[in-house]
A = this chain, B = another copy of it.
Amino acid sequence: MTRMPVEQRRAALVEATLAVVERDGLAGASARAIVTEAGMPLGALHYAFASLDDLLAAAAAAVTEQERLAVQHLLAAPGAGLEDALAAGLSAYVDLLAARPARELAFLELTLQASRSRLGDPPAPGGYAPALALMAELLAAAAAAAGVRWREPVDALARHAVAMLDGITTTWLADHDTDAAHATARFLARALAACVTAPEG
């Protein structure tokens, strides 16, 4: 392969890993499948990463950054009320899930694999932090746009929302019931909207 900074090589391998896991599942994410996807020779993997597990861990870390970033522009609802804005954003995620289920499934597989490797860890705040921080920002912005204030810490609410998104995902993947997933999204929006003070108060 042509000369290439190691950093760029690592990024390309991570991207190829995400593509392979999305297409063939975590079980199909072998060293050979990944380097083939990336158009690299077999040896390139152990030149950029110490082991395949290291690459999968890096891919899992990249996921929390990349995936939740796709949700970023979902909460860009116009001047509607807070609950409607939240419901629109969450429903947009459901549509994204229904349109590209393999992608969300791949993200869950990688996240779970990372969770297993950290099962016997100390407290371990974990790599979820970026997703939580992003969701907290979105919630804060949504409240500001609606002219209301959260009655509870946004960090706590953000964690509830992230958990609910995960649950919506696993449940939809199990039954493919898009209507029900939208209903769950509205349920969460209503629950979140119940945690604000009166408008302009």
**Residues 36-91 of A contacting B (Cβ, < 8 Å):** none
A148 at the interface (CB under 8 A from B): no
Residues in B whose Cβ lies below 8 Å from that of A175: 124-126, 128
When the two chains form the complex, which single residue of B102, B118, B164, B176 contacts A121, counting CB atoms closer than 8 Å? B176
Tally A residues with Cβ within 8 Å of B. Answer: 49
Interface residue stretch chosen among A1-9, A11-19, A105-113, A139-147:
A105-113
Alpha-carbon distance between A173 and B25 when the two chains are bound, in angstroms: 20
**Mask for A141-172, Cβ within 8 A of B = 1, else 0?**
00000000000000011011011111110110
Alpha-carbon distance between A115 and B115 when the two chains are bound, in angstroms: 19
A133 at the interface (CB under 8 A from B): no
Alpha-carbon distance between A28 and B154 when the two chains are bound, in angstroms: 39
Protomer copies: 2
Residues in B whose Cβ lies below 8 Å from that of A176: 118, 121, 123-124, 126
Alpha-carbon distance between A180 and B128 when the two chains are bound, in angstroms: 13
List chain A positions with a Cβ less than 8 A from chain B.
25-27, 101-102, 105, 108-109, 111-116, 118-119, 121, 123-128, 156-157, 159-160, 162-168, 170-171, 173-177, 180, 183-184, 187-188, 190-191, 194
Known A105-B119, A115-B174; 10 more pairs at CB < 8 Å: A109-B112, A114-B174, A128-B175, A163-B164, A166-B166, A187-B191, A190-B194, A191-B191, A191-B194, A194-B194
Residue contacts A-B, CB under 8 angstroms, 6 given: A25-B113, A105-B116, A126-B174, A126-B176, A165-B167, A166-B167
